[in-house]
Every structure is written in structure tokens, then in C-alpha cells.
Structure 1
């Protein structure tokens, strides 16, 4: 209980300092160095003074723009509100420069949006094209496999047909056009006679040996 009371007292006694509402000093230092020569040193007092001035200027302009939004019953500040505040507070020179910058920034934003849109469409089209190519390649690969299988089956059928329908010696001698459509030649009869004579000699040798 005592811990809770001490925490609440500590939160109640905490005060927001003036420096807590200022811009980070590192950001102010970076902006200052953009318009200074290299190796230029900036003292701590200078950075703190510029930090306070810039923060007060931003608060001053923003409060004036917030009043305009409050009158028009809007909750969002836009660039036109800041320009109106600068004109109404007497910063016409700054407002004119900021107006030109705001126009260029909006053109830059439109260009960036268009680039991102084109990049997205190109990526989408490329993915669709790759998907179609993969689909067609898979279909073509399946057809090639089927063609290969058909070739294998056709070749096997030819082998089986040649094996089981091989013309016999009697069919060749009888010149059967269904089995052997070609006309027999002298060389064919010579090879047949030689094979038959060799077969007869082998039979004679076997009979003599027996």
C-alpha cells in the first residue's frame, strides 16, 4: 500500500519541463550542419538556442493552424492550414517558399505512388507469366512422358509381333504372301539349302557316333 502511495505521489509531483517540449537537439544540429561548411563546430549554447527558437516557432504556427481547424470543426491539420497560419501571422516570405515546396512534395508523392503501382503491376504480371509457364511446362512434360510410353509400347508390340510371327522355313518355300510378301531370291535359296545340308550332316555324325 505504501509503494502505491509513493508511486502516485511521485507521478503527481512530476512536472513537464520546458525542454521536454522542444525538438531533439540531434535533429536541430543535423539541420544546422546542412547549411554550414564541413568541419564547422557548433557550440552547445548555439544548439540549445536554436532548439528553443525552432520549437517555439513550430508551436506558434501550429496553434494558429489548430484554431482554423477548430473553427471549421476538423481534426486533421493539412498543408493549407500551415500556409494559412504563416500568412496570418505575417510570415509571407516563409509561406511562399513553403507553398512551392508543398506543391513539389505532392508531385513527388504522386510520382512515387505511380512508380510503386507500376512496380506492383509488373511484379504481378511476371508472377502470372511464370505461373502459366510452369503450368504449360508441366502439361508438356506429361505429354512427353505419355509419348515416351507410347513409343515404348509400340516398340514392344513390334518386337512381340516379330517374335511370334516369325516366318517359318515352309512358309518361305511356299512363298506365303501374308508372312513373307517378298519374292524369294537365289541367295535366299542358297542360304536355306546350306543350312539344311549342315543340319543333315550333323544328323549323320550323331548317328555314326551312336
Structure 2
């Protein structure tokens, strides 16, 4: 994760003249095609399912719209992950945890989402704890139950 570049949102300023930009390599149609080819292997079914749940059942969603949302989601995940990775690296840890993601989201201005996710993370951990306790109780209560 340490090799991920830190992404910073670009600020557009309306001026009569375009701002000078550093010389960037020209992206050809071949590069775009190659990028899209790699994109095909990522699962788009989850994105499609979420999008369909958010619109009326009579609405159709085009493939290009699904791909666009998938690219946005991938960029958002990279943005948050790189900030979380930077925090864990500064604290000399190799694993990014839920708190790192929450910190990254708050630090990057997504406070509203971070608050909701904080509640979700607490409920998720509580559920995990309950499930592991139930499993431990099941194994202690009837040691031969697994053999069925």
C-alpha cells in the first residue's frame, strides 16, 4: 500500500485563460482500450446490483453508466485507501484497520460518511463477537456435534 500515490482533489478555477500544466504524456486510444480491457476483469455485478436497487424496476441502466460508476467507486476506494495506508505507515503498522478508514474519510472531508460507518463498524464488531461467542459455546456444549 505504501507504493500508492496520494491523491489530491483538483480544484478548478474559472479564468479566461487555461492554467499552465506540467507536460503530461498524451493518452492514446490504444491506452484507453487497454485500460478498458483490464477493467473488464473486475466484477461489475455488485455495482450493477446496487444501482438497480436504487432506481425504479422499470429503469434500465446502460453498460457505460455502470462502467462509469465502477470507475468512480474504484477511484474513491483508492483515494481513501491511500490516506489510510499513509496513517498506518506513519504508525509503523502493516495492516489497515477500520479506524484507519474512518480517520482517512474524516481527514479527507467525508465526515458525514465516516459517522455512519463508525456506527456500522461498531455493530459489525458486536455481531462478530456474538457469533464467535455462540460458536465457542456450541463447541463446548456438545463436542461430538461436529461429527454428524
TM-score by length of 1: 0.48
Q: Matched residue of 1:113: which SS?
A: helix
Q: CA–CA distance in 2 between the matches of 1:118 and 1:45?
A: 50
1: CA distance, partners of 2:111 / 2:144: 49
Q: How does 1:139-178 map to 2 (within 5 A)?
A: none
Q: How much has 1:23 moved relative to structure 2?
A: 4.8
In structure 2, runs of 5+ residues without a counterpart are: 1-33
Are the structure 2 counterparts of residues 75 and 21 from structure 1 closer, same or farther at C-alpha, using a change threshold of 3 Å? farther
Aligned to 2:24: none
Query: Map of 1:36-185 to 2, 5 A cutoff?
Result: 36-124=55-143
Give the greater-gyration-radius structure (CA): 1
Deviations 1:36-56 (A, max 9, x none): 333532111110111011000
**What is the DSSP-based 3-state SS (H/G/I as helix, E as strand, rest coil) of the residue aligned with 1:27?**
helix
Greater relative contact order structure (CA < 8 Å, 6+ sep): 2
Q: Mind listing any 5+ residue stretches in structure 1 that lack a counterpart?
A: 1-14, 128-210
Kept in 2, the 8 Å contact 1:69–1:76? The answer is yes
Larger helix percent: 1
- Alpha-carbon RMSD across the aligned residues, in angstroms, is 2.5
- C-alpha distance in structure 2 between counterparts of 1:18 and 1:56, whole Å: 17
Deviation at 1:100, TM superposition (A): 0.5
Distance in structure 2 (CA, Å) of the matches to 1:21 and 1:77: 27
Q: Distance in 2 between matches of 1:126 and 1:92?
A: 47
Shift of 1:85: 0.2
Aligned in 2, Cα 1:21/1:97: closer, same or farther, shift over 3 Å? farther
Rounded to whole Å, the distance in 2 between the matches of 1:123 and 1:39 is 51
Structure 1 runs (4+) deviating above 4 angstroms are 15-19
**d(CA) in 2 for partners of 1:104 and 1:48?**
32
Distance 1:103 1:120 in 2: 26
